[in-house]
Structure 1
Amino acid sequence: MSPRQITVLGECVADAFTEPARASNELALRVLPGGGPANTAVALARLGTPARFLARLSGDVFGRLFRAHLEASGVDLSDAVTAAEPSTLAVAELDAQGQAAFSFHAQNTADWQWTSGELANVDLSGTACVHTGSLALVSEPGAAVVEEFLAAAAPGATVSIDPNVRPLLVNPQVYRARLTHWCGLADILRLSADDLDLLLPGTPPEQACDLWHAAGARLVVITLGADGALASLDGERVRVPAVATPVVDTVGAGDSFTAGLLHHLGAGGFLGGRLTELGVAEVAEACRFGTQVAALTCSVAGPNPPWQHQLAQLTTAGGA
């Protein structure tokens, strides 16, 4: 079955990575197009899912980079807004394990200025799933508009949310205050172990899943890095191991996992409603696929998710 369209809403961020400079008083940066929702849209399109991205794209040098990257990956930008504000910039420093620490330059940038009018005429009739999250859900003035859009989309589409907590930019308490409401909007909640530690410090993953189920989310998936992923469907759990891979960096790995999860569920015909036909065996298969997509993303620099043919090569190499 060919997957129906997935519409992703959220930010594009210029990810600037520090590199060795030629002189001691210089700082060299290598800029790659990133941002959690943008990474997910790119990964979906490269996997073969029709992906539309609702974004506010600046006309500055970074905005032009975003647009070229998204279009080259096959993402539909027909409903993207041309924004007057500048793009968001994040400067990343990588540790020895390839984990990135970001500093953000995001005050009054294009990504957060959504108005109701900009989303009012978006046609969701062909959309099976709406995915959003990260800073777009907590950065005003646009956050409330995004929540209204999700509520309007829910009757006809599966809703997926990835909180992607950024504590250096937004106090985690802001996420905590809204998370119950998001669970009421979402069918799928995907987050990382780091997100869990920030949202519910000291809470075991299984207990967190039960709290979020009670708030309304049917499927909760917590990615655990090298330990794989824990998925909970209405309280029925499954753990999926990670795929071993040489790690260049982990930037965009969670976004790629989410894309793999949604792509697999969409290809199976499970998206487009409240996941009523979904069972835990199908969830496990979708999570295994997501770990493969994430592993390939970790094997290259920056948020650069694989194309469908690259995933086929990984499957062949693994003997599956």
Structure 2
Amino acid sequence: MSGGPDGVLVLGEALIDLVPVPGEPEILRVQPGGAPANVAVGLARLGMPVAFAGALGGDGFARAIERRLGDAGVDLTLCARSELPTAVAVADPGEKGTGYHFHLQDTATFRLPERTAEAGRYDAVYVGGLAAVVEPAAPAVALTAQAAARHSLLVVDPNVRQDRTIEGGRSLGLLRELCELAHVVKASDEDLLRLWPDTDPDETSRRLAAGGRLVVMTRGAGGAMAYTPAGPPVSVPAVPVQVVNTIGAGDAFMAGALTWLGTSGGWDRGLSPDRAASMLEFAAQVAASVVTQTGTEPTAPAHA
């Protein structure tokens, strides 16, 4: 595939994160988020044409989300609208990362339509996040992913979330199905261990790649690895920075990897080791631009 004017279609949720203010844990800062929305904004900030196919509500939170997406240059033509409120995720940062407690029921956020007819217009279609497992969005995500697997490049980030509001067994099954359907899988080592708990993440990545996929596994401070359909895995270290915030780092990495694939990689999943390393290094730099600040807006590496 070659890069085209339609770029990337991102399907999923845009919601509000409530994030504790450092030093004042009882004060929560409103921050537009949602993994797919973060990826869409990241792609746009990095210069990639991108459309967001989510759903926006009728409250002030939705207006803030729309401003963020629009200001970044994201195409909202395929975004559904509703008068229902916006979903909220209460962030719970800890030593092992950030957990979330979700308020999802009866919100506009997950009332998104399937986009099977549009999937083939885009070079790549990204799905993942909560929308892949939360009703009523999950069937729309699955149908769109199936169309993208036939007509485009399907990119999946399982982004496994654990919370009382999410049905664990069913959600893991849906995410496993999406990973098996995908052409490109980006996941953390923790995601892979939750999805396939009896298998080492490295072995899972090798198995997925052997099926013709490009698999990118992030390992936090341990860097990232790429597994291609042919050839040995490639590893790059994390960029050494002073970490201020980890929220959105994985989404920024995803946006960086997709941008590199679309601009330098020709959407090719059969990368040579050198090219796979270049992709990982670019994505790691983009992720580093997020963890050094309090927000989730990435910037392109200075040398890119």
Question: Does the TM-score normalized on the shorter chain lie above 0.5?
Answer: yes
Which residue pairs with 2:19 in the alignment? 17
Letter aligned with residue 135 of structure 2: E
1:123 Cα deviation (Å)?
A: 6.5
Paired residues for 1:26-175 under 5 Å: 27-95=26-94, 99-116=97-114, 119=115, 121-122=117-118, 124-125=120-121, 127-168=122-163, 169-175=165-171
Letter aligned with residue 292 of structure 1: Q
Which residue pairs with 2:286 in the alignment? 293
- Gap regions ≥5 residues in structure 2: none
- Gap regions ≥5 residues in structure 1: none
1:217 Cα deviation (Å)?
A: 5.5
Residues 189 and 217 in structure 1, CA contact (< 8 A), matched pair in contact too = no
Could you say if the C-alpha distance between residues 120 and 212 of structure 1 is closer, same or farther in structure 2, counting changes exceeding 3 Å? closer
Q: Distance in 2 between matches of 1:185 and 1:197?
A: 18
Which residue pairs with 1:265 in the alignment? 261
Match 2:207 to one of 204, 207, 211: 211
Could you say if the C-alpha distance between residues 303 and 174 of structure 1 is closer, same or farther in structure 2, counting changes exceeding 3 Å? farther
Provide, for residues 64-123 of structure 1, a one-character-per-residue CA deviation record: whole Å limited to 9, x for no partner: 0100001111111111111232111011132368x322111111322222344xx35536
Which residue pairs with 1:178 in the alignment? 174
Could you say if the C-alpha distance between residues 102 and 173 of structure 1 is closer, same or farther in structure 2, counting changes exceeding 3 Å? same
Letter aligned with residue 57 of structure 1: L
Q: Distance in 2 between matches of 1:163 and 1:96?
A: 22
SS at match of 1:110: coil
Paired residues for 1:184-223 under 5 Å: 184-201=180-197, 203-213=199-209, 216=211, 218-223=213-218
Could you say if the C-alpha distance between residues 27 and 175 of structure 1 is closer, same or farther in structure 2, counting changes exceeding 3 Å? same
Q: Distance in 1 between matches of 2:273 and 2:155?
A: 17
Letter aligned with residue 294 of structure 2: A
Could you say if the C-alpha distance between residues 105 and 53 of structure 1 is closer, same or farther in structure 2, counting changes exceeding 3 Å? same
1:13 Cα deviation (Å)?
A: 1.6
Which residue pairs with 1:302 in the alignment? 295
Q: Distance in 2 between matches of 1:3 and 1:282?
A: 21
1:185 Cα deviation (Å)?
A: 2.1
Q: Distance in 1 between matches of 2:116 and 2:220?
A: 38
280-289 vs 238-247, which deviates more?
280-289
Which residue pairs with 1:278 in the alignment? 271
Q: Distance in 1 between matches of 2:117 and 2:57?
A: 21
Q: Distance in 1 between matches of 2:74 and 2:269?
A: 28
Q: Distance in 2 between matches of 1:298 and 1:30?
A: 17
Residues 245 and 295 in structure 1, CA contact (< 8 A), matched pair in contact too = yes
Q: Distance in 1 between matches of 2:130 and 2:139?
A: 12
Could you say if the C-alpha distance between residues 106 and 179 of structure 1 is closer, same or farther in structure 2, counting changes exceeding 3 Å? closer
Letter aligned with residue 15 of structure 1: D
Could you say if the C-alpha distance between residues 60 and 217 of structure 1 is closer, same or farther in structure 2, counting changes exceeding 3 Å? farther
Match 1:225 to one of 220, 223, 227: 220
RMSD over equivalenced CA pairs, Å: 2.4
* Matched residue count: 300
Q: Distance in 1 between matches of 2:186 and 2:112?
A: 23
Letter aligned with residue 124 of structure 2: C
Could you say if the C-alpha distance between residues 142 and 226 of structure 1 is closer, same or farther in structure 2, counting changes exceeding 3 Å? same
Match 1:256 to one of 252, 259, 265: 252
1:276 Cα deviation (Å)?
A: 5.9
SS at match of 2:123: strand
Quote the sequence identity (%).
37
1:154 Cα deviation (Å)?
A: 2.5
Residues 12 and 35 in structure 1, CA contact (< 8 A), matched pair in contact too = yes
Q: Distance in 2 between matches of 1:143 and 1:285?
A: 34
